[in-house]
Structure 1
Amino acid sequence: MDGFMLVLALATLPAAGNLLGGIAAELFHVSERALSLALHLAAGIVLAVVGLELMPEALKATAPWVPILAFVGGGLFFIGIERAMGFIQGRLESSEKAAGPLAIFSGVSLDLFSDGIMIGTATVLDPALGFLLALGQVPADLPEGFAAVATLRRAGIRRRTRILMALGFTVPILLGAAIGYFALREAPEILTLSVLALTGGALTSVVVEEMITEAHESKTSRLEPVFLTGGFALFALVSVYVGS
């Protein structure tokens, strides 16, 4: 199989996992407590992606301060995304209630984009490594897709729009995979690692400012800390036993 086609095929694995999670949220009634737990699980997974995959790799740079600065830049990038969404919502006269779900949609898209970049760059180095990394993302993306679509559903967004948005999650991961394969493979290593760090900073901001905030706006559960740490542990298991 051609190298680029292989990258695209591998990228569809986590995209399919995310879509299956979204389909589950459409088929089953989701209580506020269940949604809160799913958001905590997804948040733990995203934090693990940043802490165990993105930043350790980024800090291998010969000048680690550059990706560290890029990580901070990820926070600024998140602010830019928030302002852009606020502008779009204002022009469309959308409700303030939709701001949280749309931000979470953006966060999941960022996570999938980072998955694509990792898969694309890893496949260039070693196709087997790219396959293991793509396979390892699948169980991590299931609860993310579930939480994202369930949040959109609770916000009253139309079913047709929710389905289109769920299908739209395939775009960022394929785009990230293409960038990782074509652009970053020829770029200086410091640039590639800085892009990973920038993505990590943006994802961290999304988790703290949007996912957890959204989870606490409705009925909560005492099990939330367990699901948060459980999500982190789940990705850690996948990273150690499948993705390495």
Structure 2
Amino acid sequence: MAVFVALGAFLMTLAGGWTAQRVTDRRHLVLGLAGGLMLGVVGLDLLPEALRAADHEIHGVPAALLLFVAGFLLAHLGERLLAARRAAHGAVENGAGRHGPAGHDEAGHEGTGREGAGHRRHSPEVGLTAAAAMVGHSLMDGVAIGASFQVGGGMGTAVALAVIAHDFADGFNTFTLTRLYGNARRKALAMLFADAVAPVAGAAASAFLTIPEDVLGGYLGLFGGVLLYLAAAEILPEAHHEHPARSTLLCTVAGAAFIWLVVGVTG
């Protein structure tokens, strides 16, 4: 029963990714919406659940919040290390004469422009890592579905509805994150498919394993910190880079409000 219900999450995730790739001509609106969805997921879904699951304190602070901060700092540190490595690699290439003056390469193509600048500033590894974290989150969602059905049909149905409702945002964010950091469309589609399959796999695996509640809460806190960093430091600034329009801001607010609505209806 749990696996069958998880197929709804599979379809909803694919629908979110399909929507993200169909509106590429409004990229700033997509990014603004994705930032709002991620903010809503972190603040209204992940953190409350993490605090409920891992409520013990370490030196006066809930463990889930400590891991939330650790996740934020870990994402920041990882991006800075990747940026330093890319800068060093670029300096070696320029010194070797692979790029000519005025930002031209050997083929005479100019290395400027918004897309080129974005690809130099971002790293495909960051996008794939973030998408992999989304897949891990979806896997845990599937486990939650399976575990709740073991408790009872009513509990299982409530948890499944909550997962299915916000998996549209998961699929949307997985595809957007992967593409934002310069990955090819086929890689974004592969990560989207992995994210869609993950709840089904998690629901099937729940029959054979049990994850301690405090471990799950710690994971959610850490993952929430990573997501918040990506939303605040990367996605939202990119959304407003060349289109500081009111419509972009409204999309961000709408994304957060949508998650609030989902949490209120399914909570």
1:1-244 matches, within 5 Å, as: 1=1, 6=2, 8-47=3-42, 48-51=44-47, 53-58=48-53, 60-61=55-56, 65-79=62-76, 82=79, 97=119, 99=122, 103-104=126-127, 106-121=129-144, 123-125=146-148, 126=151, 127-146=153-172, 148-149=174-175, 157-170=183-196, 173=199, 184-185=210-211, 187=212, 189-242=213-266, 244=267
State the Cα distance separating 1:149 from its structure 2 match.
Answer: 3.4
Structure 2 residue identity aligned to 1:236: W
CA 1:206–1:85: 2 relative to 1, 3 Å:
same
CA 1:216–1:87: 2 relative to 1, 3 Å:
same
8 A Cα contact 1:25 1:149, kept in partner: yes
TM-score, normalised by the number of residues in structure 1: 0.70
Which one has the largest radius of gyration?
2
CA 1:12–1:84: 2 relative to 1, 3 Å:
farther
Structure 2 residue identity aligned to 1:69: L
What's the CA shift string for 1:200-232, capped at 9, x where partnerless?
A: 222222222222233233323213343333322
Structure 1 residue identity aligned to 2:45: V
Give 5+ residue unaligned stretches, structure 2: 91-115
Whole-Å separation in 1 of the counterparts to 2:127 and 2:30: 13
Whole-Å separation in 2 of the counterparts to 1:81 and 1:179: 31
TM-score, normalised by the number of residues in structure 2: 0.65
State the Cα distance separating 1:86 from its structure 2 match.
Answer: 6.3
State the Cα distance separating 1:97 from its structure 2 match.
Answer: 0.7
8 A Cα contact 2:143 2:202, kept in partner: yes
8 A Cα contact 2:67 2:218, kept in partner: yes
Task: Look up the SS of the partner of 1:223 in the other structure.
Answer: helix
8 A Cα contact 2:54 2:218, kept in partner: no
Determine the structure 1 residue equivalent to 2:97: none
What value does the CA root-mean-square deviation take over the aligned residues?
4.0
8 A Cα contact 1:116 1:172, kept in partner: yes
State the Cα distance separating 1:29 from its structure 2 match.
Answer: 4.7
8 A Cα contact 1:38 1:147, kept in partner: no
8 A Cα contact 2:14 2:193, kept in partner: yes
> Percent identity among equivalent residues?
20
Give 5+ residue unaligned stretches, structure 1: none
8 A Cα contact 1:41 1:143, kept in partner: no
State the Cα distance separating 1:22 from its structure 2 match.
Answer: 1.9
Whole-Å separation in 2 of the counterparts to 1:132 and 1:233: 20
State the Cα distance separating 1:150 from its structure 2 match.
Answer: 5.2
8 A Cα contact 2:162 2:263, kept in partner: yes
CA 1:113–1:238: 2 relative to 1, 3 Å:
same
Structure 2 residue identity aligned to 1:145: G
